[in-house]
């Protein structure tokens, strides 16, 4: 195995790790925002429902894009 391939493998692994890490952070932030919106009484129910729909659509799109790889 050449040094170049080894370096590419290391960078690829580091990129996958960092992508997973930041995806997890984004997911946690989204989940917390939805929880807070549900608790608050001043946010109308249709807005909370739309937030949930957008979150679901985003997750479905991400899954579809990963399946293309």
Angle ∠(31,36,41) on CA atoms, nearest 5: 145
Integer Cα distance of 36 and 38 in angstroms: 5
Tell me the pLDDT tens digit for each residue of 46-68. 999 998 999 899 889 988 988 88
pLDDT of residue 8: 61
Tell me the pLDDT tens digit for each residue of 14-47. 777 777 777 777 888 888 888 998 898 888 999 9
- The pTM of this model reads 0.61
Integer Cα distance of 64 and 69 in angstroms: 9
**Residue 48, token pair as written in the block:** 């909370």
End-to-end CA distance of the chain: 24
pLDDT of residue 7: 56
CB hemisphere CA count around 35 (13 angstroms) = 6
């Amino acid at each position: 195995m050449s040094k170049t391939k080894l370096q590419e493998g290391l960078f690829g692994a580091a990129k996958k790790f960092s992508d997973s890490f930041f995806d997890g952070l984004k997911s946690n932030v989204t989940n917390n925002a939805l929880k807070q919106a549900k608790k608050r009484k001043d946010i109308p129910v249709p807005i909370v429902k739309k937030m949930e729909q957008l979150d679901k659509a985003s997750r479905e799109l991400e899954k579809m894009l990963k399946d293309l790889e």
